[in-house]
A and B are shown apart, each in its own frame.
Chain A
Amino acid sequence: MARQSKPHSKHSGASPMRYLTLIVLTVIMIGPLIWMLRVALSPIGSELSFAALFNADISLGAFKSLFSADGIQRPAINSLIVGVIVTLGNVPFCFMSGYALARKSFLGSKVLFGLTLLILMVPAHILIVPLFLLVTKLGMFDSYWALITPFLVTPIGVFMVKQYVETIPDSLEEAARLDGAGEWRTLFSIVAPVCKPILAVLAIQTFLVNWNSFLFPFILTNSADLRTLPVALALMQGHQAIDWQHLMAGSTIAVIPALLVFLIFQKRIVSGITAGAIKQ
């Protein structure tokens, strides 16, 4: 508002120099993804070079062949299943636990929050060996259980909800309790609606992180049937026979859902990153 009335307003447009800089930067930032799409849409086996690709026909060959016989439907479906289930777990579980940590004082609640903060700082790499051994000993190795169970509640989610709940006044909950509403009813029909913004951020972030995740899906499974999209793509690359058209078509398929989620929920993603600003 105040800016609108400033005499030398700088917001109606930018200088041509600034636009030129911005356009060059956009080409640098988006260029690799445009290249990916162009290679994916070129005839299988065609030469890769700037000039050759500029003149090459548009072909859906690589996409068609990926969706035939031993294609990537299975990994794509796996990624979707894992992403959706992990997200559906994180929203209620992180909500319940985060709410409890914000509002309840129970036996060990201080310790629990301390440990949650501590775990937030633990780098994931330290779990590579022990999580592999544990999952194997629990008989979950190379199963959907391995891809889902360890990630159903995440410290970052619990932390995010806890921080959020602490900013909302507890008068609504008190009123509900005085009216005789039970614990669960208060939680899910009074508190949850108020927490919708943070739960949406949590859901979007959880889905994106899991959709793009490579390390744990890779080390906790073995068979081709259980590969998620990133794992399938990374392992495809090892094959001598595979060509770039297929790899880039597969990459395109992996990028599109994430890009759509980003474009639709941009505001929430940005607010989640800047408000939480912790770590993924």
Chain B
Amino acid sequence: MNTSSNSYRSTRSGGLGLSSPWIITLLIFWLFPLGYSLILSFTDYHLLARDVSWLGLENYRTLLADPAFLQALKNTLIFTIGTIPITQIIALSLALLVNRSFRGRSFFRSAFFVPSVTSMVVVALVFTNLYGRGGYILALAQLVGLNPPANGFLLDSSTALYSIMAMDIWMASGYYMLLALAGLKSIPDELYEAADIHGAGPWRRFFSITLPLLRPMILFSLVINGIKSLQVFVEIFVMTKGKYGTATGVYDVYTRGLERFEFGEASAAAYMLFVIIAFFSAAQFWLMRKRKAAL
């Protein structure tokens, strides 16, 4: 047909021009920095370097023998493994609480989501206050006889990291609640009706219908949560500046790169962290493909 050749021509024209803003941004602000940083990671480039020499894998070896870097990796893993299950369980519980319609449901949904639209800097500042002397979290902990550190939770190595983790759980739960709600919505009502007819109780319904059918969404949430948790930085910067055993991987990259200006070493640290995150990203990519195939 005449139109088919016409439309063929029209789909070819202008594509490059239309996508040029993205192509330029991609090249200059994404691909170039990524490549540049990878090359830097094999050099001893730093702020005052007059000439730069090639070190091969030396930076990577140095880092793997550096207690500070290993501690930062360990903290990142503690953070990730410690927060994700709790965040996801709370998120799912919240979602189940506000899934069925009842008076005031949208108010509660919004209330739970509000922390997620708040700036991380603000959340970190408010919790710095709450965890410190005069803040109600410290006061509550004293009230129930927990015997918290006298100067507050953030100025003590035994509690600082866990306190920041608790704050992150508080902040993220509402976001994953929304994802869980979307998953719940996709479960057909008929399944529950059928379960009702067969006399299945609420627990039975949860474990044989809700949980299995929610699995793809839960997996997806786990992966996103993992990627975000492995990149924790802002709250550490605001609340403790990496002191009291709270330095995470990205915080380590920041101090090496932009406080000590060891660009080569910082790049190597960033790439090592990247490998860990890439594992989660690959999982995300795989899930996305699977979800798309399912549609």
Contacts and interface: CB of A to CB of B under 8 A. Distances in A.
A32 B123 contact: yes
B231 A129 contact: no
Interface residues of A, number: 101
A22, A129, A133, A150: residue with the most chain B Cβ atoms closer than 10 Å: A129
Interface in A18-49: 18-19, 21-22, 25-26, 28-33, 35-36, 39, 47-49
Contacts of A164: none
A103 B170 CA distance: 42
Contacts of A196: none
Given A129-B40, A177-B7, A248 B94 contact: no
B231 A124 contact: yes
A93 B134 contact: no
A97 B22 contact: yes
Contact of B25 (A103, A124, A150, A187): A150
Contacts of A60: none
A50 B228 CA distance: 33
B121 A129 contact: no
Contact of B126 (A36, A115, A153, A274): A36
B162 interface: no
A248 B122 CA distance: 8
A66 interface: no
A258 B113 CA distance: 12
A274 B231 contact: no
A279 interface: yes
A236 B237 CA distance: 13
B114 A105 contact: no
B126 A106 contact: no
B85 interface: no
A204 to B, nearest CB: 10
A133 B267 CA distance: 12
A248 B23 CA distance: 42
Contact of B11 (A104, A117, A263, A274): A104
B15 A121 contact: no
Given A129-B258, A130-B37, A233 B121 contact: yes
Most buried by A among B15, B112, B117, B121: B121
A96 B29 CA distance: 19
B209 interface: no
Contacts of A230: 119-122
A91 to B, nearest CB: 11
B21 interface: yes
A258 B34 contact: no
A94 B22 contact: yes
Interface residues of B, number: 100
Nearest to B193: A6
Given A14-B102, A130-B33, A237-B238, A254 B258 contact: no
Contact of B22 (A21, A30, A158, A258): A158
B117 A50 contact: no
Contacts of B274: 122-123, 125-126
A248 B126 contact: yes
A273 interface: yes
Contact of B118 (A26, A219, A258): A258
Contact of A125 (B10, B11, B13, B231): B231
A279 B130 CA distance: 29
Given A13-B102, A106-B16, A258-B118, A26 B178 contact: no
A21 B108 CA distance: 11
Given A12-B102, A125-B270, A237 B128 contact: yes
A33 B19 contact: no
Interface string A231-267: 1011001000000100110010011001101110010
A119 B281 CA distance: 11
A244 B129 contact: yes
B267 A130 contact: yes
B164 interface: no
B87 to A, nearest CB: 13
Given A14-B100, A124-B231, A134-B33, 15 more contacts: A3-B189, A29-B114, A33-B114, A48-B135, A104-B18, A107-B16, A126-B34, A126-B271, A128-B250, A128-B266, A130-B34, A247-B129, A248-B126, A259-B117, A279-B228
5 contacts: A97-B18, A153-B25, A251-B121, A262-B117, A274-B181
